[in-house]
Amino acid sequence: MIAEINNIVFAYIHAFSFRYTSLDTTIIFFADLFPFVFCLGIFLFILVHKDRDAAPLTWYAIRRKMIEIGSIICTGLLSWGIVMLLKVIFGEARPFITDTTLQTLITISGIHDSFPSGHATIFAGLAVSLYIYHKPIGYVFMFGALLIGLARIASGIHYPIDILAGYVLGGSIAYSVYYFLRPRIKHMVGVGGFK
């Protein structure tokens, strides 16, 4: 039942590719290049964002930024490590391997590492981590993570279940870092009393 739904949704989303050159270019951008823009956006936001409740050059503000950056970096690294381990454990074939007639918009080297999606895991984790500290901009980055996932399905390199599992895993890692590792990061930075 789940496999049927997965294949139906995949076929529907993948059908958007190879129709129009401009749409293919957009899908390729979001599947392959937008993740770099996404990371740059997070970096620039954290760098230039000023909290309302802290003066920009106080030690308090600097330590708060260090905690945010530490949490986001831990989320990204843990997401990457965990998803790589799960890819080895599951060893799921990508759509273009299970259906050799399927065309893809982008070429990738991995063939039996479809589940869960590394891109969905990492970028959902980063977006949720940013959401924890800055809700309005977190929504923007969650939408960016959604676009990345949809583009990777449309390009023919992931099934919807790979993307969905990546979103759940990435979000879970972000919240785990916030609740379990953030206190350790706060201790290392020597700060208490704020998010």
What number is the average pLDDT over the span 148-163?
96
What's the angle, vertex CA 177, arms to CA 115 and CA 133, rounded to 5?
110
| pLDDT at position 15 | 94
Domains detected in the chain: 2-98+107-189 (1.20.144.10)
Per-residue model confidence as pLDDT tens digits over 66-101? 888 888 999 999 999 999 999 999 999 999 998 889
Q: Does residue 154 have a pLDDT over 80? A: yes
Indicate whether 160 pLDDT > 70. yes
- How much is the pLDDT for 105? 93
Q: Which residue shows structure tokens 């129009």?
A: 20
pLDDT at 181: 77
The whole-number average pLDDT for the span 118-136 is: 95
Query: Angle at Cα 119 formed by Cα 116 and Cα 123, nearest 5°?
Result: 115
Note the pLDDT of residue 55: 59
Closest to 120 measured CA to CA, from 92, 153, 73: 153
- pLDDT category of residue 188 using cuts at 50, 70 and 90: low
Burial of 48-78, coded b for 16+ CB within 10 Å and e otherwise, reads eeebeebeeeeeeeebbbbbbbbbbebbbeb
- Whether 194 has a pLDDT exceeding 50, the answer reads no
How much is the pLDDT for 189? Answer: 58
H or E stretch at 28: helix 21-28
Structural tokens at position 173: 């890692």
* Separation of alpha carbons 57 and 67, rounded Å: 15
- In the chain, the amino acid numbered 115 is F
Q: What percentage of the chain exceeds 70 in pLDDT?
A: 91
Residue 123's nearest CA partner among 146, 157, 151 is: 146
What's the mean pLDDT in 125-133? 94
How many beta carbons lie within 10 A of that of residue 139, not counting itself? Answer: 13
Mean per-residue pLDDT of the chain: 89
Rounded (10°) CA dihedral 81, 75, 189, 47: 120
- For the segment 11-69, what is each residue's pLDDT rounded down to a tens digit? 999 999 999 999 999 999 999 999 999 999 998 998 887 766 655 567 777 777 888 88
Tell me phi and psi for residue 176, to 5 degrees: -65, -45
Terminal CA-CA length for the chain? 42
Do 95 and 10 form a contact (C-beta atoms < 8 A)?
A: yes
Q: Name the more confident of 180 and 84.
A: 84
